[in-house]
Structure 1
């Protein structure tokens, strides 16, 4: 018996007592789990988690000043507010830039859809202030602006705010991976530097 046949046999055995005409709607999944909880201030918790993930965090800093201090050219999606870009050498992704062109830029600046304090995760959903996914994966520096009203404590709270039909990118710190010997390597699957501004 092949591995596939073994797995299918186990599935059939597990479903043996289910009537053939029963569908998913006939056996609802209970969703009474805890969606939020009390605890530390969510802004401070998010900052703590982001710093733990080696992100650089600023509160109430001027986005344009941070970008100017870094120097170089950044790509900005169409929906990024003009005041974030005052005095910054900006390239727009319209028409869409090639991966080579994105790689030649110094960074990207975006907004976000939601930020999860307990996990230190920022979620992008390709809204106009975030752009397409490649913008935040190719440049070596990502400056993400998070509004305080976008911060939630738990993953269930974040899921309630997100549209599952949109392309979601979940970011927990700068890109990093470990090889078989657990040597950490940064910048393999995205930017080496994640900078977050909480406004």
Structure 2
């Protein structure tokens, strides 16, 4: 069975192929003088393709959340033939372009193949922080702001997104979890 990430890629290609075919049908409908029965046949085909896209999109959503956590550990940089993935705030990034930082025995290797939200927010490589994964309950307001900045300016800006965990840590969720100053 192909990896979850491979399955996601295959479904995305299927969606793209359906959309391309719909565009070709649109062009044919505009450019050709078709008989009514031919036009209906083309429209029926378009309708079936649109239904197929909806089915693929549902399948894609299910795949993006299914078993990614378990599979993520296989992309921890130990196999030089595989990409290197790191999850942050529930978003899985391909950090393979920076193998010198994230690959086997590299300085940030401890962060890859898992969700490293807590460790990145604390700018820590300690196993206690890395093992907390996406638990942000112990982060200060400053650490949460730093996490948001790193997420946007480093990861979203530099690395492609390859999937999502079954949870996402949104700004709204951050706001709920920020402790009042007197509790820090």
TM-score, normalized by length of structure 2? 0.24
Higher strand share: 1
TM-score, normalized by length of structure 1? 0.23
Higher helix share: 2
